Amino acid sequence: MNPTLHAVLDFLQTWWAELTCGVVIVAVVPLVAGYLVLMERKLMADMQARLGPMRVGPHGLLQPIADAVKLLIKEDIIPGESDKLIFWLAPVISMTAALTSMGAIAFGPSFQVARDINIGILFVLGVSSLGFLGIILGGWASNSHYSIIGALRSTAQLVSYETAGGLAIISGLLLSGTLSISGIVTAQQTQRVWFIFLAPVGFFIYLVASIAETNRAPFDLPEAESELVAGYMTEYSGFRWALYFLGEYANMIVVGSVATTLFLGGWLRPFPNVRWLNWLDVLPALIIALIGVYSVYRAGKQPVKIQTQFMWGVALACFAVALIYAVPWFVGPLKFVIPGLNGAFWFLLKVAAYIYVFMWVRFTLPRYRFDQLMHLGWYILIPLAIVNVFAVGVAMLIAANTNWNHAVVLLLATIVTTIATLVCAVFLVSWHDRRTESASTASLARDSYAG
Amino acid sequence: MADESKPPQSPDSQKPESGTAPASPAAKTPATPAPPVAAKPAPPPPKPPAPVQIPLDNELTRRYREQFGAAILDALEDRKQAYLVIDAAQLKEIALYSRDFEKFDLLEDFTAVDWPRREKRFDLVAILYSFPHNTRLRLKIPVAENERPVSLVEVWPTADWLEREIYDMFGVEFSGHPGLKRILLPDGWQGHPLRKDYDILLQDNAWVRENLGIDSGQ
Amino acid sequence: MLDSVLFYFFAGVAVISAALMVTRRNAIHSAVFLITTLLATAGIFLQLRAEFLFIAQIIIYVGGIMVLFIFVIMLVRLDVALHHIRFRMKNLVVTLVIAVLGAEAGAIIYYARKLPGQGLFIEKMAPAQNLAPNSEKLAQSLFSNYLLPFEIASVLLLVAMVGAVVMAKNKKGTEDS
Amino acid sequence: MGNALQDDALQNNSTLLGTDELVLNMGPQHPSTHGVLRVKLKLDGERVRGTECVIGYLHRGVEKIAENRTYQQVAPYVDRMDYVAAVSNGLGYCEAVEKLLNVEAPPRARVIRVILTELQRIASHLVWLGTHALDIGALTPLFYCMREREEILKIFEKYCGARLTTHAFRIGGLQYESYDGFEKDVERFCLDFERRIQEYVDLLTGNSIWIGRTRNVGVLNAADCIALGASGPILRAAGVKWDLRKAQPYAAYDQYKFEIPVGTNGDTYDRYMVRIEEMRQSRLICLQAIEKIPEGAIMGKVGKVIKPPAGEVYHSIEAPKGILGYYIVSDASTQPYRVRIRPPSFINLQALDKMVRGHLVADVVAIIGTLDIVLGEVDR
């Protein structure tokens, strides 16, 4: 056999799982992002007393596909005075960074591309933050005032909120004692508690910071529609615009995954160590089957025949997935896939819940002004995150130096330190309010980029 | 200053001091602006007694007359609404006096009317409102076509855009205005549309001739 | 085999984009090529099983410093400023620097060839690929053997940060007055 | 080699690494200029150092058109100025001409006018609230506001067949008798509306982001308001308890009890509170008015041909956006000699420059929103 072919085969044999996972990420994430948009629009419609997309497919289920087709066949406009190379490059960077960072995320005990990378969480953070380069360069290359202001805002926002988010993550890393993604999840299993209960303040700081990092309302200043038209995306159209858009939603999945991994127990089901709750393992199959049943129920109510058929299709797909989940329970040799499948289910459910919070916040809150955003980041979140790291450290020290049940002591110590942290937070907020109150005589904020 | 709300009064409570009946047809005053087409014969149906302009002589007008004498050309009342016809030369002094001493603190509106057949072609009309007294007063300032009345921006800042609009629509130029240029119409517009001799079709036809090569777009 | 392909790929990208970075007239283009260089170098770190260095390079240099570079370039219109800075003896300086660097590189190649088993074309890969994941070891040595230098470096950075804040404040004061 | 550096680069550090003042052109196509307003912003970073409004993109020459139409024909035109509050425009015009003719609308007509005008005020404020909240980034209130406005528009549609530019009133009274169930519709809307207002208030009033975005933003004190001619809610938010409906009552407003809401600071938040409270007061007026609508004719003694005696009249009403005045000169013909409209939006917009100086770009959007301008009225 020729050595090159041999090497290739060798390579495939070692890496086939990772390769498959990578291909799936690249192929499926855009689709998932499209359906996240649909989910967002549907949720928004529900909260705003209307129906949302209803025309393309039953309940608008085909809307993302129609949108994608529209964006693909749209004219690709490049402004005459723009920097062509960078204008072309920027959305690609944005999208690539988001997809690459997904490589290290463990979507279940066995679904992970870069499995033995022991700095997994740092890889995710570092690579996903490269997406901002795409935003900045795109804003600059468009040669438009709106774009450049959007890009400047995003840079300042990135620098401020990466810091807060990073410090918040440290509290989770302290508790797990490892940077490896699967290590973090295993730590939560062995310590018998999700880290959200041990570092609640850290979780909420990360929640806020991740909303800011993904440029979503109320922190969507780089693309604030009512102020900067579309910020750094103003001059983009068609597929380039779609790349940015997909990058943004892929980024939401990434931050959701990081939060899930660090604070929400990753792929673990609720109470993973409680024996008598083992029946929860059947839930994934059941829930998916129930969605199928609901689709059947809705199928009868569709006004047009083709929609009824489509609904039946959805139902059948659900049943098929449910079957995949259910079969291993009855076929002995396949039992080994159960943890993997269930893990993926729980993980994706948690990520979806996290993203739901993003959307909920977006429809409820008005947008921050830039200086207010900076103040929140620098005067409240970052100090609070530092205090929180100390608090978690103190709790861990207390737990390590007592002889009682480690988990219980840790939890008790956490309660105490969390209260202390919250007192700090109240103090910070009131101090900040007083400060702005006194500064508002001229009612003008300080230089916003200086924070 | 203006916080006190006045008790409800009848609309335009500028009541004449004198007890003259408002509907006396003989009360024509020499300075009454005669509308150019007023000579039209009255229509056959019996007209209600026409309330026309009657001379006004109350506390307020007396004070104005005392202060400015001949600059107050006339003081009239039309449908229970008072107005003073004043000399453009003293416009700023009268405006300042109205604002500071008569407490007409709001320039509610400032506009113009074109009377092409008159010697002084334009009537500038300033509608003043007094918050403390809850009264209105109109100042009419006749100006000739090439006259440059003084700008009121320093007295009432709100006059800025209103004077620009008058300039835009009538071509009256105000001296001392900080940035007198067209406001509603594009900078290159020809003519001043609210003048009576400005034909709506004029500009339209000119454009059509120039751009489409036909005589009329109508 | 794969390792050498990857190595030459990364190394080639690093060298080429470094050259492009120097030759671009547009400051933003230079910044983009510098980013490419840094990323390629990070790739080489990863090949050497230095994951922590790899990610530190990405987070600190690409994600942090380069973003700020671009930020500054966008804010201060460097293109205009660069037109002002022009040497009269530019060509002379450039030639001198190139000559010195070239001599240095030549010397290295010349002497390296003489050493046994080494040289410009490394035939045997370094044993890095057999190393276990080593972020923890890095941390341990940083916080035990090299604690003092580490702390000194962090104090230095803190001083720089405080200095930057003070300078920014001063500038603001003069602006307001 | 220090002297090799060019001198000017060393001497003039500010040009070497200076930041430029940026002129940002906002509009005429921009999501939050509420139409075709164009504002040129002079920016220092994101801070506004000066503005220039460029208006007139929607100029249709209503005043010139009016000179070439009969009095009745003008009435539909004025609806097209502030198309968000067409009923109020019509009321002002009809009452002005009635004054010119020296006739009065019969009591029944006046009460129905009050009801429709107050509903229109609510509708106009709802449009303002929804778009203003959207400008500041709250997406949801817009849809709630549109939901309630829809109810009002349905009442208009049932009454006169039109929803937006209604032409609901005629000179001398009303064209149409109120339809069966008119009172009931209005009452149902009003009773429901209190709960709806509470929804907006829940979403916005106590929200710290909303407060942060609106408190001390675009402050205009009472003296500035009066000097710049700003009227309506802007004036009241500055603490001036003044409302033409109370000061010089027209239509049938003297029969109803209502409060004039006032603010204290004259900032964007106060204007928001004033308008919210005004909606509540309008609701109360409607409820009082439908209790007893007098019986009788709906049309006063106005001939088919309207030919007012020569002379002139100025009449102003409290439109949702401020003082809406009509100055009409008659030359005793069937066509007005001159119709001058004092549009509240046009004059309120003048205050923009004073309000935005020193604020950030994001505040410009909030301030344009709080001015509640309708470009149809600004440009006429």
Q: What is the pLDDT of residues D335-375, one digit of tens each?
A: 888 899 988 988 888 888 888 888 887 788 888 888 888 88
Mean pLDDT along residues A36-64: 84
Backbone angles phi, psi at B149, to 5 degrees: -65, 155
Does the CA dihedral A270-A272-A274-A277 come out positive or negative? positive
pLDDT number for residue D170: 85
> What pLDDT score does D14 carry?
37
Same domain, yes or no: A166 and A282: no
* pLDDT higher than threshold 60 for residue B100: yes
Q: Give me the phi and psi of B153, to 5 degrees please.
A: -60, -35
Cα separation of D76 and D80, whole Å? 7
| Touching chains, C (3+ CB pairs < 8 A) | A, D
Whether D17 has its CB under 8 Å from any CB of chain C: the answer is yes
Distance from CA of A340 to the nearest CA of C (A): 25
Dump pLDDT digits (tens) for D234-272. Answer: 988 888 888 888 888 888 888 888 888 888 888 888 899
D 114-133 residues with CB below 8 A of A? 133
A57-71, D9-23, D349-363: least confident range: D9-23
Taken in order D141, D147, D150, D151, the sign of the CA dihedral is: negative
Whether the CB of C176 is below 8 Å from some CB of chain D: the reply is no
Instruction: Give yes or no for D209 touching A (CB within 8 A).
Output: yes
> Is the Cβ–Cβ distance between A444 and D358 less than 8 Å?
yes
Q: Residues D62-113: pLDDT tens digits? A: 888 888 888 888 888 888 888 888 888 989 999 898 888 888 888 888 888 8
Q: Which of A284, A266, A165 is nearest to A214 (CA)?
A: A165
Residues of A whose CB is below 8 A from C70: 133, 136-137, 140, 155
Q: How far apart are CA A11 and CA A13, in angstroms?
A: 5
Q: Which single residue is written with the structure tokens 């409800």?
A: B8
Asked if D332 and B40 come within 8 Å (Cβ–Cβ), the reply is: yes
What lies within 8 Å, CB to CB, of A194 at 6+ separation is: A188, A263, A264, A265, A268
Q: Which of C55, C71, C75 sits opposite A126 (nearest CB)?
A: C55
C25 in D contact zone (CB under 8 Å): no
Q: What is the extent of the structural domain holding A379?
A: 76-268+358-439
- Angle among Cα C132, C134, C138 to the nearest 5 degrees reads 155
Instruction: Please count the structural domains in chain B.
Output: 1
For the domain D103-303+346-379, what is the CATH superfamily, name and number?
Answer: Cytochrome-c3 Hydrogenase, chain B (1.10.645.10)
Mean pLDDT along residues B103-119: 87
Among all chains, which residue has been given the structure tokens 């209503």?
Answer: D62
Locate B176 and state its tokens.
Answer: 């001392």
Report the range of poorest mean pLDDT among A99-103, B160-164, C128-132: C128-132
Chain Cα centroid distance, residue D36: 16
Both tokens of residue A347? 């993980």
Residue D216 pLDDT greater than 60, yes or no? yes
Contact criterion met (CB < 8 Å) for D363 and A369? yes
More confident: D339 or A335: D339
Residue B81 maps to a domain: yes
Phi, psi for D208 (deg, rounded to 5): -70, -30
For CA atoms D224, D228, D229, D231, the dihedral sign is negative
Q: Do D360 and A448 touch (CB under 8 A)?
A: yes
C64 contact partners, CB below 8 Å, separation of at least 6: A159
For D59, name the nearest residue in chain B, comparing CA atoms only: B184
**Is some CB atom of chain C closer than 8 A to the CB atom of D139?**
no
- B213 Cα to chain D: minimum distance (Å): 25
Q: What is the DSSP string of chain B?
A: ---PPPPP--SS----SS---TT-TT---TTSPPPTTTTSPPPSSPPPPP---EE--SHHHHHHHHHHGGGEEEEEEETTEEEEEE-GGGHHHHHHHHHHTS---EEEEEEEEE-TTSSS-EEEEEEEEETTTTEEEEEEEEE-TT--PBP-TTT-TTHHHHHHHHHHHH-PPPBT-TT---SSS-TT--S-TTSTT--HHHHHHHHHHHHH--S---
Residue of C nearest to D11 (CA): C84
Note whether A126 contacts C64, CB cutoff 8 Å: no
Q: Is residue A298 part of a domain?
A: yes
Which residues of D, range 102-141, sit inside 8 Å of B by Cβ? 102
Is the Cβ pair D31, A226 closer than 8 Å?
yes
What mean pLDDT is predicted for residues A252-256?
A: 89
- Identify whether B163 is part of a domain: yes
Please indicate if any CB of chain A lies within 8 Å of the CB of C6: no
Query: Which among D222, D329, D337 has CB closest to B2?
Result: D222
Comparing CA positions, the residue from D29, D363, D98, D327 lying closest to residue D217 is D363
Q: What pLDDT is attached to residue D134?
A: 85
- Chain A's closest residue to D363, CA to CA, is A369
User: Chains with ≥3 Cβ pairs under 8 A against A?
Assistant: C, D
Asked if residue B7 belongs to a domain, the reply is no
Q: Which residue ranges of chain C lie beneath pLDDT 70?
A: 1-2, 76-88, 112-133, 170-177
pLDDT of residue C122: 52
Q: How many CB atoms lie within 10 A of CB B216?
A: 9
Query: Residues A256, A299: one domain?
Result: no
C26 contact A CB<8A: yes
Q: Which residues of C touch D4 (CB under 8 A)?
A: 87-89
How much is the pLDDT for C44?
86
Query: How many angstroms separate the CA atoms of A119 and B125, rounded?
Result: 78
Contact C58 A162 (CB under 8 A): no
When pLDDT is cut at 50, 70 and 90, the band that residue B44 belongs to is: very low
CA terminus-to-terminus distance, chain A: 64
pLDDT per residue as tens digits for the range B54-90: 777 787 888 888 888 877 878 788 877 888 888 888 8
Overall average pLDDT of the A218-243 stretch: 75
Residues of B with CB below 8 A from D55's CB?
Answer: 183-184
pLDDT tens-digit series, residues A367-417: 888 778 888 888 888 888 888 888 888 888 877 777 777 777 777 777 777
Among C29, C58, C70, select the one facing A136 at the smallest CB separation.
C70
Of residues B38, B48, B184, nearest to D331 (C-beta): B38
Domain ranges of chain D: 103-303+346-379
Residue A62 lies in a domain: no
Nearest CA in chain D to A443: D216
The set of chains that have 3 or more CB pairs under 8 A with D is: A, B, C
What is the pTM assigned to this prediction? 0.77
pLDDT score, position C13: 92
Q: Are D313 and B56 in contact (CB under 8 A)?
A: no
Asked if residue A289 belongs to a domain, the reply is yes
Residue B82 sits in which domain range?
Answer: 54-183
Taking residues D113-130, report their average pLDDT.
90
**Closest chain D residue to C93, measured at CA:** D1
* Subunit contact D362:A49, Cβ cutoff 8 A: no
Q: What confidence score (pLDDT) does residue C105 get? A: 86
Interface test with A, best of D39, D41, D140 (most A CBs within 10 A): D140
In contact, D375 and D35? CB cutoff 8 Å: yes
A334: contact with D, CB 8 A cutoff? no
pLDDT at B25: 39
Q: Please give the C-alpha separations between residue D358 and each of A447, C168, D43, D217, in angstroms, as whole numbers.
A: 11, 21, 9, 10
Any domain includes B29: no
Residue type for position C67: V
What does the pLDDT look like over D38-64, one tens digit per residue? Answer: 888 887 766 788 888 888 888 888 888
Give, in degrees to the nearest 5, the angle at Cα A142 between A137 and A143.
110
Tell whether the model's pLDDT for residue B14 goes beyond 50: no
Is A407 contained in some domain? yes
Question: Which chains does chain B touch, 3 or more C-beta pairs < 8 A?
Answer: D
Q: Are residues A207 and A288 in the same domain?
A: no
- Residue B212 covered by a domain: no
Distance CA A315, CA D286 (A): 52
Residue C22, helix vs strand vs coil: helix
Contacts of C160 by beta carbon, 8 Å cutoff, 6+ apart: none
Q: Which residues, in sequence order, are CB contacts of B191 under 8 Å at separation 6+?
A: B171, B198, B202, B203
Q: How far from C139 is each of A121, C144, C156, C173, CA to CA, in Å? A: 16, 8, 20, 42
3-state secondary structure B50-100: CCCCEECCCHHHHHHHHHHHHHEEEEEEECCEEEEEECHHHHHHHHHHHHH
Looking at residue C122, the DSSP 8-state letter turns out to be -
The beta-carbon neighbor of D325 closest among B2, B109, B131 is: B109
Residues 2-61 (D) with a CB less than 8 A from some CB of B: 55-56, 59, 61
CATH of C1-85, one of 3.30.70.1050, 3.40.50.2000, 1.20.120.1200, 3.40.50.720: 1.20.120.1200
pLDDT category, D17, cuts 50, 70, 90? very low
Q: Do chains A and C touch (3 or more CB pairs under 8 A)?
A: yes
* Structure confidence by residue, pLDDT tens digits, D264-311: 888 888 899 899 999 989 998 988 888 888 888 888 788 788 888 888
- CB C135 to CB A118 under 8 A? yes
Contact C86 D20 (CB under 8 A): no
Q: Would the CB atoms of A137 and C32 count as touching at under 8 Å? A: yes
- Between CA B162 and CA C83 the distance in angstroms is 48
The interaxial angle of helices A131-141 and C67-76, nearest 10 deg, is 20
Q: Is residue A189 part of a domain?
A: yes
Compute the distance between CA of residue D75 and CA of residue D89 in angstroms, rounded to an integer: 9
D-chain residues near C77 (CB < 8 A): 18-20
User: Number of folded domains in chain A?
Assistant: 2
Q: What is the 3-state secondary structure (H, E, C) of chain A?
A: CCHHHHHHHHHHHHHHHHHHHHHHHHHHHHHHHHHHHHHHHHHHHHHCCCCCCCCCCHHHCCHHHHHHHHHHHCCCCCCCCCCHHHHHHHHHHHHHHHHHHHHHCCCCCCCCCCCCCCCHHHHHHHHHHCHHHHHHHHHHHCCCHHHHHHHHHHHHHHHHHHHHHHHHHHHHHHHHCCCCHHHHHHHHHHCCCCHHHHCHHHHHHHHHHHHHHCCCCCCCHHHCHHHHCCHHHCCCCHHHHHHHHHHHHHHHHHHHHHHHHHHCCCCCCCCCCCHHHHHHHHHHHHHHHHHHHHHHHHHCCCCCHHHHHHHHHHHHHHHHHHHHHHHHHHCHHHHHHHHHHHHHHHHHHHHHHHHHHHHHHHHHCCCCCHHHHHHHHHHHHHHHHHHHHHHHHHHHHHHHCCCCCHHHHHHHHHHHHHHHHHHHHHHHHHHHHHHHHHHCCCCCCCCCCCC
The region that residue C135 occupies, defined by phi over 0 for left and psi between -120 and 50 for alpha, beta otherwise, is: alpha
Q: What is the pLDDT of residues A265-317, one digit of tens each?
A: 888 878 777 777 777 777 888 888 888 888 888 887 777 787 788 888 888 88
Mutant choice from A13, A86, A133 vs C, greatest count of C C-beta within 10 A: A133
Residues β-bridged to residue B124: B112, B141
- Taking an 8 Å cut-off on Cβ atoms, the answer to whether A127 and C68 are in contact is no
pLDDT at A341: 77
Q: Are A109 and A340 in contact (CB under 8 A)?
A: yes
Contact D350 B160 (CB under 8 A): yes
**ipTM reported for the complex, 2 dp:** 0.71
User: The tokens of A287 are what?
Assistant: 């829930």
Q: Is the pLDDT of residue B46 over 50?
A: no
